[in-house]
Amino acid sequence: MSVADTHRNASEIRAQIDALVAEFAWLIDHKSGHGVADLFTPQGRYMVGGEEFDLQGRDEIEDFYARRRAAGPRTSRHLFSNLHFEHVDDDRARGVCVLTLHAADGRPPHPLKPVLVADYSDTYWRSPEGVWRYESRVVTPLFGSIPNFGSRTN
């Protein structure tokens, strides 16, 4: 494989990863989290700020979003930026992106102030069908705090 082919392949993978990150935000912000679990591998891990929010597998991730929907209307915008992408091999990659989260319970309009800025450290895996999924998403809050709906018991 030539250098140009390698670069083109990495660019295509990056575009697919960008689409995965955008779909994650869209499903939470516009579909109340329906379908987010399907963006993860069957054993995927979603961890926010430590062990109090450490979801393992699609069932736990889907259960979290079902409980969140049951709590009532919520308005959010997950704004991801600054993806630092590392292509590991044809079926694995790593990346870190920055989340700026605007969120509030109830229907809009709401104040503009972000509730959280965090790093999302991701590991991606490509299925045999060529679909990229999250193997893991580990969220590290930098500014603000994790909204209280993050507990397993909420």
118-153 pLDDT per residue, tens: 999 999 999 999 999 999 999 999 999 887 654 444
Q: Which of 145, 154, 113 is nearest to 48 (CA)?
A: 145
3-state SS class at 63: helix
pLDDT of residue 151: 44
pLDDT of residue 86: 87
Token pair of 9, please? 């392949």
Tokens 């140009």 map to which residue? Answer: 4
- pTM beyond 0.75: the answer is yes
Q: Which CATH architecture has domain 3-150?
A: Roll (3.10)
55-114 pLDDT per residue, tens: 999 999 999 999 999 999 999 999 999 999 987 788 999 999 999 999 999 999 998 889
In 3-state terms the chain splits into helix, strand, coil percentages (rounded to 5) of: 35, 45, 25
Q: Which of 36, 66, 42 is nearest to 56 (CA)?
A: 42
2-52 pLDDT per residue, tens: 545 555 688 899 999 999 999 999 999 999 999 999 999 999 999 998 777
